[in-house]
Structure 1
């Protein structure tokens, strides 16, 4: 019975993960520049890019609650309110601060239009599908190298209001005066393992660059 319940939860996640027509469909691999040209990334073919704030990259293959890869930039002095953070802060300390932050908040990055909250989404609100911040549990913290730069890898698990378990891998790095978080999030059932290699390939192809400071066009 528990197995059936989990599969039903996954079906609900599929229903609320339908992508809006204003998302960008990637028919082939596409190389993009991040904000201030501080990184380049290769977006995988057959994935979709969600409309977001300029500081955020958010992509999915089948829908945000089935798998997602995000890259988020925050100013270093704003990333962890109440904490003094610098480029010299050890990655292990940053990882613990990030874990605490994830326990307090599971942010919404996608820009949703009012019309998109009707139909299926009215019957099964998106907030029911997203993982609940308060359920986040630490699985592991490991050192990591992102394009040769010291970083951390934070692995966590969490659950949505239907009891569906999600797995998360978050890479955190200080680069060019900002804090960057690159994250993979997917349900443990079927999707997390299926798209793991895509995330690893995304990380391998990501390149950190010197930030553009004048006459920039992102």
Structure 2
């Protein structure tokens, strides 16, 4: 299998964490999403993935799977151990709820194409984009903290083992910290992230920080 990826991407981090938890190896195909001419917008990559986004997984059967949560569930079905969704139906639904609260409600407001559009608005500047990102991250994590606070206190977001909820929450929390947002205001989230940092599959696959040669907003 081939994974088209840019390791600054929190969506890519989700897939890499799932792969690491399941000890599944794939061929990495670096696909930059930033810069004046990112590879993700090139004609050759658009021929592979018309969305021009990462991650994308090309299976050994030639099937292309896009969107991180679809890839994670595909991996969970083909490589069932360890399971990434709790067995209990209510906990399974909650794990999906937490994951989707980030993947569908926070993440779509933060990618480069949104920041680029904000930059075209008269009077907007880089600080406006930064404030925009911080606002939506904080609002989203506050809602997730409330969801988690209704459940028994555990090492992980949902259930007694890492799940899709943790896989999506961890990269978002790391990026929040890099944006200067302390997790201390969300004690349940902070406790979960502290636990996940001790697990190599998570710690080794956090989104890579932007370097001087890789500037721009994260997808």
Q: TM-score, length-normalised on structure 2?
A: 0.29
Larger relative contact order (C-alpha < 8 A, sep ≥ 6)?
Answer: 2
Greater helix content = 2
Q: Which structure has greater strand proportion?
A: 1
When the two structures are superposed, what TM-score results if normalisation uses the length of structure 1?
0.30
